[in-house]
Amino acid sequence: MRVRPDVFPVLASLTEVSARAEVARAHGRGGIPSIEFGGELVVVLVTGEGASQAWVDEATAATLPPNAFPLAVENLRARTKQPLRLTRTSSPKVGVWVAGEDDGLGSGRLLLRDLWRPVREKLPTDLLVRVPTRSAVLVAMDRPDDIAFAEHLADQLVAAAEAKGAPVLARDWLMWTPAGWIARGT
């Protein structure tokens, strides 16, 4: 059984999921299904993309196949350009990029771990990412100047998101490993 082609995974903070679940329950729609990603992040499903994204609550999830999460990952894989697109954020001397496409699904692309291997192989250091908002994935080399620049950029993204009332996802850095993403202190 297939899942609808407009269902995709994204990352969300536990705080945001709890708040949205409360609203959904208040409207008789149950909670928000999620699966653990790590640290302060979980995976949720959305329908649509960009500004028109709607979260999948328990009522909507009941209309999806039981294996909706892995099927949603495959939907995201099918619409993701390969190799992953990285856009440099400043001069070539700074190893910081923004990953992905402008579709609001950027955080979900962390679930496509195999697509990150070629990115890691091109770097002389560990591959670090930070997901300050659902659509922004910052990629940095594990060097103090790069991390400092990425932190500055993340602060700007977070301030812009908070000014719009949009959620902030994570302040933690994640490091790519062949087995998955792990939290990394800076």
Quick one: average pLDDT of 109-133? 94
Residue 108: which pLDDT band, with cuts at 50, 70 and 90? very high
Is 1 among the domain residues? no
pLDDT at 3 over 80: yes
Q: Share the mean pLDDT of the chain.
A: 91
Distance between CA atoms of residues 169 and 109, nearest Å: 15
Residue 161 is encoded by which pair of tokens?
């998101």
Number of domains comprising the chain: 2
Residue 185: which pLDDT band, with cuts at 50, 70 and 90? low
Residue 52: which pLDDT band, with cuts at 50, 70 and 90? confident
pLDDT at 186 over 60: no
Residue 21 is encoded by which pair of tokens?
């679940």
Look at 8-17, 43-52, 73-82 and tell me which has the smallest mean pLDDT: 43-52
Residue 41's domain comprises 7-79
End residue of a domain, out of 79, 110, 125? 79
The verdict on 75 and 90 lying in the same domain is: no
Count the alpha carbons within 13 Å of 83 in the hemisphere toward its beta carbon.
9
Is 2 among the domain residues? no
Residue 176: which pLDDT band, with cuts at 50, 70 and 90? very high
Residues 6+ apart with CB under 8 A from 150: 89, 96, 128, 130, 138, 140
Task: Give strand pairing partners of 141.
Answer: 127
The verdict on 111 and 179 lying in the same domain is: yes
The verdict on 135 and 63 lying in the same domain is: no
pLDDT at 172: 87
The verdict on 54 and 100 lying in the same domain is: no
Count the alpha carbons within 13 Å of 32 in the hemisphere toward its beta carbon.
27
pTM above 0.85, yes or no: yes
pLDDT at 51: 75
